[in-house]
Amino acid sequence: MQPGVGAGRETPTDAGGTRPYRSPIREEAARVTRARIRDAAAALFVEHGYVGTTVRHVAERAGVAGRTVFTVFPGGKSELFHAAYDEALARSGARQETDVRLDTVATTGVDRILDEMTGYSVDLLERAGALMLVAIESAGADEEMREFARQAAADTAANAMTLAEGLAAHALLRPEISVQHAADVLFTVVSPQVHALLRRECGWDVETYRSWVTRTLRASLA
C-alpha cells in the first residue's frame, strides 16, 4: 500500500503530530445514507405503525443492507424514530420555544396572536403530526412509545397553559372563559388526533384546516 493511502491514512498536523484522514466525499455519502435510512423509517412508521415496522423493512425501503441500518443507527427502531421526529421538528422550526410574543399582545391584538398560534401549530403538525400520532397509536403495545406519547402530551398541555395564561393576563379571553378552559381548548383543537382526522380522514387541504383552527380558537376563546 502506498504511504498515506487507505481508510487508516493519517496526515501531518502543523504541530508535527498526526490526524485522521477525512474525506469530504465519504462524509457526504455517509450523510446521504443516514438521511435516506431515516426518511425511509419515517415513511414506514406512518404507513405501518411503530410495531409493524422492522429494521429489515427500513433497510429494504432505503436500499441498504440491514447491518448498515444498525451501523448508522445502533439503537435500532428507537433511535430511528427519534431521529425522524427530531428531523421533523427541525424542519418546522419547532426546536425554538413556542413564542407568540405575548408581551406585545396589547398592541398586536388577539387576532394577530391567534394567527401566530395557528401558524406555529399547523406548521408543527404538518411536519411532525403523523409521527406524533404513530407514538400515540403504538402506546398500548410499546413501552417506549407510551412514554414518548405521555411526555409529548404533557409538553403540549404545558405550552397550551402558558398561552392561555398569557391571553388571560392581557384580558383577551371572554369573561366566562377560565384559563384552564382556554388551555383545554388549545390542547384539543391543535392536537395531532384532530389534525389527522381533518387532514387525512376528511381530506381537508392545509389552508382549509388552518382557517378552521383560527376560526375555532377565535370563537371559543375571544
Read off φ and ψ for residue 165, nearest 5 degrees: -65, -40
67-85: average pLDDT: 97
The model's pLDDT over 104-162, given as tens digits with 9 standing for 90+, comes to: 444 457 788 888 889 999 999 999 999 999 999 999 999 999 999 999 999 999 999 99
DSSP-based three-state secondary structure for 86:
helix
Annotated domain spans of the chain: 19-85, 93-221
What backbone torsions phi and psi does residue 20 show, to the nearest 5 degrees?
-60, 140
Q: Among 65, 121, 56, 51, which residue's Cα sits nearest to residue 93?
A: 121
Alpha helices in the chain (DSSP H): 24-48, 55-62, 66-72, 76-92, 105-108, 110-138, 143-169, 179-189, 192-196, 206-221
- Residue 112 has a pLDDT of 83
Please report which confidence band the pLDDT of residue 93 belongs to, taking 50, 70 and 90 as the band edges.
low
Could you give the CA distance from residue 185 to residue 6 in angstroms, rounded to a whole number? Answer: 61
Quote the pTM value. 0.79
Q: What are the backbone angles phi and psi of residue 91, rounded to the nearest 5°?
A: -65, -30
What's the whole-number mean pLDDT along residues 180-189? Answer: 97
Domain 19-85 has CATH 1.10.10.60: yes
pLDDT value of residue 4: 43
pLDDT of 5 over the 50 cut:
no
**CB neighbours (10 Å) of residue 155?**
11
Residue 200, pLDDT > 70, answer: yes
